[in-house]
Amino acid sequence: MAENQYYCFVAGLPDLFFDSTKLPFTVDEFREMLEEVLAPKDKKLVDKYFLKYDNENLITFLKDKNALLNAKGKISPEDIKEAIDSIEVDYPIQNPDIPPYFEDYIRLWLDESAHDENKLWEDLMSEFYMDYGRESKNKLVSKWFEFNLNIGNILAAIYCRKYGLDINSVIVGNNEVARLIRENPNVRDFGLSRELEYFDTLQRIAEETDIYERERKIDKLRWDWLDENTVFDYFNIDFIFAYLCKLQILERWVSLNAEEGERIFRQLIADLKSEVSVSKE
């Protein structure tokens, strides 16, 4: 089947540069633009990218049914409740807007014994989401999810080893890289240096002591990866998906100055240490 081409739309998009200090438009505004121009099949790919907000909302709802949900999520509280109610009576979810991994996640949540295992529920959701994204029939989308899964796992493994924490407790997903890390926690390169061309780059990034600069370098790696993997894509959904990912990266940094970035990322590291410590107890 031929790909949809969006000549006029792409031709009108302003160029994005990693070091830009201004946004041409926000991610939310771009999302609205895409709603108007994308074919249904391509819109589903973009919706998959934004499921991260629905993931967050599901966890929030399970913890507190009256909590305020993130408006960026597209699955309504009513649909979330209906999905939970269906699973509670062991009835399959009928709503096509509910991603299949929601059912697995909700079933685990409703299993009281699972809460006795000190599970890190956010990590579990990340694992389900990443595995779901990697199964996409679109090669770029599948590789993008795989790439980000690998980045997160490799950096988490490096930091855990540095701080003497249990590596297996923070590794998510079920791909080859995750398997190798779990099997080789004490090997210097986790058995990955020959498997991944960007492993050495990530190892150098992990040595950066300035948290703000380290996160910038990680996002630059992502940006460069998007460029390298869309060299021959000009007007198709792959170009648009890469543009969306870049816009999200750019929006993140435009909204942060160095001082605020340092504070936020120090808190992220502190939270990681705290969660891992809890899981070990």
- Cβ atoms 61, 80 nearer than 8 A: yes
Residue 231's pLDDT is 96
Q: pLDDT per residue over 55-73, tens digit each?
A: 999 999 999 999 999 999 9
C-alpha 51/C-alpha 55 separation (Å) is: 6
Q: pLDDT per residue over 225-268, tens digit each?
A: 999 999 999 999 999 999 999 999 999 998 886 556 667 777 77
Domain parsing of the chain, residue ranges: 7-55+122-280, 56-117
Residue 272's pLDDT is 66
| pTM given for the model | 0.88
Query: Confidence band (pLDDT; 50, 70, 90) for 117?
Result: low
Interval 6-25 mean pLDDT: 96
Phi (first) and psi of residue 70, to 5 degrees: -70, 125
Residues 6+ apart with CB under 8 A from 205: 155, 214, 217, 218, 221
